[in-house]
Amino acid sequence: EVQLLESGGGLVQPGGSLRLSCAASGFTFSNYAVSWVRQAPGKGLEWVSAISASGGSTYYADSVKGRFTISRDNSKNTLYLQMNSLRAEDTALYYCAKDAPLGQWLGSYGMDVWGQGTTVTVSS
Amino acid sequence: QSVPTQPPSASGTPGQRVTISCSGRSSNVGSNNVFWYQQLPGTAPKLLIYRNDQRPSGVPDRFSGSKSGTSASLAISGLRSEDEADYYCAAWDGSLSGWVFGGGTKLTVL
């Protein structure tokens, strides 16, 4: 079964840091780009960041650029999101989602598998 | 506003046909594929329509998508109670080099 499992969420003070992980199984992780998408309580979906299959290309929403870093370890089938300088507005449920396959450009394929999300709360 | 615009709410009775619009810009909807996601209450989003009008396997043909210029639409025919959910359009934005999601439409089945 194709699956994504996020972890690492929690309560953190403003200005603090947190690292999210997303463990993939059931597919060849290294053949797919992956994205992080978040959803603030009661709000809509907001794309956060994406990384190519090889990890050589990364993309960020303006709202997190310079504060968040996406990375992946294909040997461990795991995606990461390092979040620094956290703000109250970063409070959300963070999903990882399987994106474009190798050879397809981001934007052509869509996010066809999603995890269940991990909750990040930024509050003093 | 660079994100696509969707009506915040839509409604219909069982058996009816409803449409949800998604109005974007030339940098996103106008020049790239549109995708639709369904989010049932308390669950993760699910890909409903890809590349404007394609349905993943398992998605009923009651769901259909279309695109023209900088606008796209999701149509749901034969409305059922289990279709009550939030629906989001999305497209890659070439100017932002990232995905943009519409604000979402909450569909109520009366």
User: With 90 as the cut, is the pLDDT of residue A14 above it?
Assistant: yes
Closest CA to B49 of B34, B39, B62: B34
Nearest to A59 among B98, B100, B103 (CB): B98
> Which of the residue ranges A9-13, A26-30, A106-110 would you say has the lowest mean pLDDT?
A106-110
* Residue of chain B minimizing CA distance to A41: B42
pLDDT on residue A101: 93
pLDDT on residue B1: 55
A51 interface with B at CB cutoff 8 Å: no
Judged by CB atoms closer than 8 Å, whether chains meet at A106 and B56 is answered as: no
pLDDT in tens, A39-72: 999 999 999 999 999 999 999 999 999 999 999 9
Task: Calculate mean pLDDT across residues A18-43.
Answer: 98
Q: With 0-12 CB in 10 A as exposed, 13-18 as middle and 19+ as buried, what is A69?
A: middle
pLDDT in tens, B6-31: 999 999 999 999 999 999 999 999 99
Nearest to B56 among A44, A112, A117 (CB): A112
Judged by CB atoms closer than 8 Å, whether chains meet at A44 and B88 is answered as: yes
For tokens 């409305």, the residue is B79
User: With 90 as the cut, is the pLDDT of residue B93 above it?
Assistant: yes
Cα distance between residue B106 and residue B100, in whole Å = 18
pLDDT in tens, B42-87: 999 999 999 999 999 999 999 999 999 999 999 999 999 999 999 9
CB count within 10 Å of CB A8 equals 16
User: With 70 as the cut, is the pLDDT of residue A93 above it?
Assistant: yes
Q: Please, are residues B107 and B87 in contact by the beta-carbon 8 Å criterion?
A: yes
